[in-house]
Each structure stands twice: as structure tokens, then as C-alpha cells.
A and B are shown apart, each in its own frame.
Chain A
Amino acid sequence: MIVWAIANQKGGVGKTTTTVSLGGMLAEKGKRVLLIDTDPHASLTYYFDIDGEDGSATLYDLFMHGKEVDKEQVTNVIQPTRFENLSVMPASMALATLDRKLGPQSGMGLLLRRVRKLLEDDFDFILIDVPPVLGVLMINALAAANRVIVPVQTEFLALKGLDRMMGTLDMVQDSKGLTHDITIVPTMYDRRTKASLEAYQELRRKHGKLVWNGMIPIDTKFRDASTAQTPISMYAKGSRGAFAYKGLLQVLLSQEASA
């Protein structure tokens, strides 16, 4: 099983779009895909028209079961989508209270890793949409994932957020020896602006090979796809956005194959 965490400590950089787009394409390839929404804003959950507040079980319930969560409890939280091979583990707003509720409780950063182990035979890919806050949810995602995909908006302020994220990854590695493959994905690239180009060049200069050799362009089709609650590859196959994510997925899969 391959697990990717889509993370950045800055919000609004395209984490959910990246999660849904890559997940949708993998499902189209016949891979069994689970998307885990760990963000209390629950954008990913709403993307698939699931209401995390309607009383059905969410990721929050798994944290309440604690470290000894079992397979039945985990599968109980997973919901199918209307797309073949694509399932979602929904979030709810109550996730925002976890850090306060659990504090740095011993071992609570390993819950998603346990979920991964329990689902080893049920899915080929797990993609985790991570909230832009360093806390118990982000640490869980990092501990469970073998690759971290970091979407970065191609503008200067967003580069600062990237520095923080890279610092966190370094710290997790120093502290617990958790190493990840890292792929930085330039997003919301606007070829008409100089700022986008400069930010992209700065990214390449600073992070070199970690930066994917392409970029996700601004494309109104992303918005239309989310309104239609459909991954972009299924909604507008020929769009620039879908084409860009297809290129990214090819690179990621070839890197996984050689890892």
C-alpha cells in the first residue's frame, strides 16, 4: 500500500484539490483508493457531498476510540463515493478540538499508522488531506505516510509557509527518524504574471530536485469540478488542470516504482 500525505502549513494552496484530483485519477486506473480528510474544515468531505455533522461516524470517532481502535471501527467510518474504487473517511468540525482534548498524549500520533495497517489489504492507495496546522492531526498524517506532497502556491508569501513545512518535516525526521519522500508541487501558476514565474524560479533554486518539474495552472475548471462534486479528470478530462495533474501522477508513480 502507498500512502501520501498532502500537506502544507499554509492554507488555500490547493491541498484538497490535489488530493481529490490525484485520488480520482488513481481510481480511474482501477486502484482502490481511500481519501482521508483530517482537516476540521472538512472541504474534502463536502467535496463528495458527505456531511460530517449528520451524526454518522467520522475520523473524530476513531480518535475517541484511541490507540486500540479495531478494524470494524475503522471500516465503519469509511464511506463509498459515487465513483468506483473511491472511498472517503470523512472529517467533522469536532476534529478541531483534538489537540486540546488529547494534548500530547503518548502514542496518539500513531493512530493513522494503525489505520493504515488495518486497511493494508483493502486499499492500494491512501491519500491524506492534512490541515494547515502543526498538531496531532498533521503528526498522524506524517507518521502514516511514506511520501509527503506539498502543494505550494506560486507566490512569494506562500514560499514562507513552505519553509515552515520543510522545517516541520526536518524536525519529525530528527526527532523520530521518520523519513519521507517529498514532492513539492507548484500550484495556481498564472503564466501571465511575472510574480508566478519568479516564485517558481525561486522554488526551483531553493529546493531543487524536490520540486516537481511542472506546475498546476490556474484553471476555472477546478471550481466547476468542485461545484459538480466530481474529480477534475472525470469532469473535464481535456482541461489544462486535468492534464497537469496527469503529468504529476505519472512522475509520482514512476518515483514510487523506483523507491
Chain B
Amino acid sequence: MSRDQKLAMHEYLDALLFDEKTPASQPESAPVAEKNTAELERLLAQATLREHEQAEAQAETETQARVQAEQAAVAKKQAEQQRLLELERQQEAEMAAQLEKQAEQAQGEALIDVPPPPVSNMENYKQGDFQALFFSVAGLKLAVPLKSLGGIHQWKEANTIFGKPDWYLGIMTNRDEKLNVVDTARWVMPEKYTPELAESINYQYLIMLGESQWGLACETLVTTESLSPEDVQWRKGEGSKRPWLAGVVREKMCAILDVDAMVDMLEKGLNSQD
């Protein structure tokens, strides 16, 4: 493992295992504190006054040492955070300067220049192995890369809103979030969406798309699986008929979603065929 990889791992572990509790204020330490107090009281009852004083003095010294150690740890952490903040600011400033320079160079050409299309997340998936969640709707199996999955919610009836496209089932409230619910079967295969099919569908979950508030209704969570880029028949190029379809998982003949493109279409009120 390279030095950079080691450093990244250490930072990851430091964050995950950072114990911020302070003995007096955290409920977590309460049972332990109670046990310790009871034990101390028992010992005190048996001890002479002198021993009591010694114990107290020792306990105080230990407490002071502990507090000092904790303060030092917090100060170290703060200094590190400050250093990272500085570094981030410096990088931002450098990036801003660079962008300014590029803008200056591009002046004059800007009016005829079209900004390049943003690189879709899907491009990243073509670079290496990735995990995907497979789910099914009305017999159709779909897959979404886990990194583009915003979450999974249990199904709750959505509040219908009038004047929206027919594939828009309404708003589902989850805690304080308002989630837009897509009738996946109707969106993906409107041509097959008959009243009989609609009747047979039993949505159970809402699959959230990336960071957006859009969620796809789904009937069954099938599995999660690791895929390599070669496992997928990727769709090629810009302007394809179905931008939301990133490709097909070969062995399973199952569509894999381009989440960014799909969110973009949903935002515009388009359906899968538009």
C-alpha cells in the first residue's frame, strides 16, 4: 500500500472512530459513571479518613491528567482541522485564479463557445468495478449503481398533486423531506402500461436517485452485486434515444440507469420516450 493510500486509510479510521464524549455530559457514560460512583462509595466506607484523602487526591490528580490529555487531543484535532481548512482555502484560491486566467484567455471566443457537457457519473463507472442495486418493477429488472443511490425508503402512499404528468404519483413525506415519487412502470414503459398492469403493481419501496428529491417506486429489491465495466453493454454517445439508459447488464439483460440523465429528464417533466 502506498503512503497516500495509508494516509487516506488513517484519516478514514480517525474520523469513524473519533470518540468525542466528555465524561460528565454524555448519556453514554452515565451507566459507567453510576457504577464507578457506587464502587467508590463502597471503598470509601471501608477506608480510613487518611486513605479517603489519599484516594481523593489521587483521583483528583488522575482527573486533572485525564482532562489535560483530553484538552491536548482536542487542541491537536482543532489544529489539524485548521490546517486542512487553510489548505482547502489555498486550493480554492489557486483554482479561482486559474479559472480567472482561463476566462481571460477565452475572452472574445466566449460568445461562440459552447461549454462542454458535464461528464456524467456513468463515465466514472466505465473506469472500474462498481456495486449496483438490482430492483424490479412489474417484471422489469433495473439496476442502479450504489454510488448514485440516494437511499431506500419504505413505501408510503404519496399525496397526489393535480396538473402533473401521469407518471408523477405525488409527494411522499419522509421525516422533513418531501420526495417526488415516480410511477416507474409508467415512466419506463408507457406503451405497456395498461389498466390491468396498473392494478397488478404493488409498490413496496422508493429508490432515491443520487442527491435529488426524485425517487423511483419499486416492487422488489432483488440484490446488490459487484459489476465490472465489461459486464455492461454501454450505450454510446450523446443524443441517444434514451439518455436515462446507461446500458444493459449483459448476463441479466437488465437496464442500468444513468441517474444524472434520468434526474435531468424528470426535472424537465419528460418521460422515458421524450
Chain A interface (Cβ < 8 Å from any Cβ of B): 40-41, 53, 55, 68, 70, 93-94, 96-97, 100-101, 104-110, 114, 117, 120, 136, 139, 143, 167, 171-172, 174-176, 178
State the interface size on chain B (CB cutoff 8 A).
30
Residue B41 CB within 8 A of the other chain: no
Contact A108 B16 (CB under 8 A): yes
Separation in Å of the A125 CB from the closest CB of chain B?
20
Which residues of chain A have C-beta atoms less than 8 A from B31's C-beta?
117, 120
Interface string of B56-89 (1 = CB under 8 A from A): 0000000000000000000000000000000000
Known: A100-B146, A175-B9, A175-B10. A94 touches B152 (CB 8 A): yes
Closest-by-CB residue of A relative to B15 is A104
* B149 CB–A CB distance under 8 Å: yes
* Contacts of B28-56 to chain A: CB distance below 8 A: 28, 31-32
- Chain B proximity of A53: nearest CB distance (Å): 6
Task: Let me know if B23 is at the binding interface, CB within 8 A.
Answer: no
Query: B152 and A93: CB pair below 8 A?
Result: yes
B164 to chain A, nearest CB (A): 28
* Cα(A175)–Cα(B154), bound, Å: 38
B140-195 with Cβ < 8 A to chain A? 146-147, 149, 151-152, 154
Tell me which residues across on chain B come within 8 A of A143, comparing CB atoms: 17
In the complex, residue of chain B having the shortest beta-carbon distance to the beta carbon of A176: B17
A109 to B14, CA, bound (A): 9
What CA separation (Å) do A117 and B21 show in the bound complex? 14
**How many angstroms between the C-alpha atoms of A107 and B28 in the bound complex?**
13
With A53-B221, A100-B147 already in contact, the answer to whether A172 and B28 are too (CB < 8 A) is: no
B133 in the interface (beta carbon within 8 A): yes
Residue B274, interface by CB 8 Å: no
Is B229 an interface residue, CB under 8 A from the partner? Answer: no
Interface of A is mostly: helix
Complex alpha-carbon distance, A167 and B149, angstroms: 30
Chain B interface residues toward A at CB < 8 A: 1, 6, 9-20, 27-28, 31-32, 131, 133, 146-147, 149, 151-152, 154, 204, 221, 223-224
Question: A114 and B28 in contact (CB under 8 A), knowing A107-B18, A136-B16, A172-B13?
Answer: yes
Q: Is the CB of A176 within 8 A of B14?
A: yes
Q: Could you say which of A70, A108, A171 contacts B9, with CB atoms under 8 Å apart?
A: A171
In the complex, residue of chain A having the shortest beta-carbon distance to the beta carbon of B26: A68
A residues near B6, Cβ cutoff 8 Å: 171
Cross-chain pairs A/B with CB under 8 angstroms, 7 sampled: A53-B204, A100-B147, A104-B15, A109-B17, A110-B16, A114-B28, A171-B9
Give the distance in Å from the alpha carbon of A181 to the alpha carbon of B12 in the complex.
23
**Shortest distance between the CB of A44 and any CB in chain B (Å):** 16
Closest to A140 in B: B16
Name the contact of A97 in the complex, choosing from B11, B152, B204 (C-beta under 8 A).
B152
Apart from A93-B221, A94-B151, A96-B131: 4 A-B pairs, beta carbons within 8 A: A107-B19, A167-B1, A174-B10, A175-B17
How far apart are A104's CB and chain B's nearest CB, in angstroms?
4
Taking CB atoms, residues of chain A closer than 8 Å to B10 are 171, 174-175
Nearest residue (CB) in A for B135 is A93
Chain A neighbourhood of B147, CB < 8 A: 100
Closest CB of chain B to A68's CB: distance in Å? 7
Q: Which of B9, B13, B27, B151 contacts A109 (CB 8 A)?
A: B13
CB distance from A235 to the nearest CB of B (A): 27
In angstroms, how far is the closest chain A Cβ from the Cβ of B131?
7
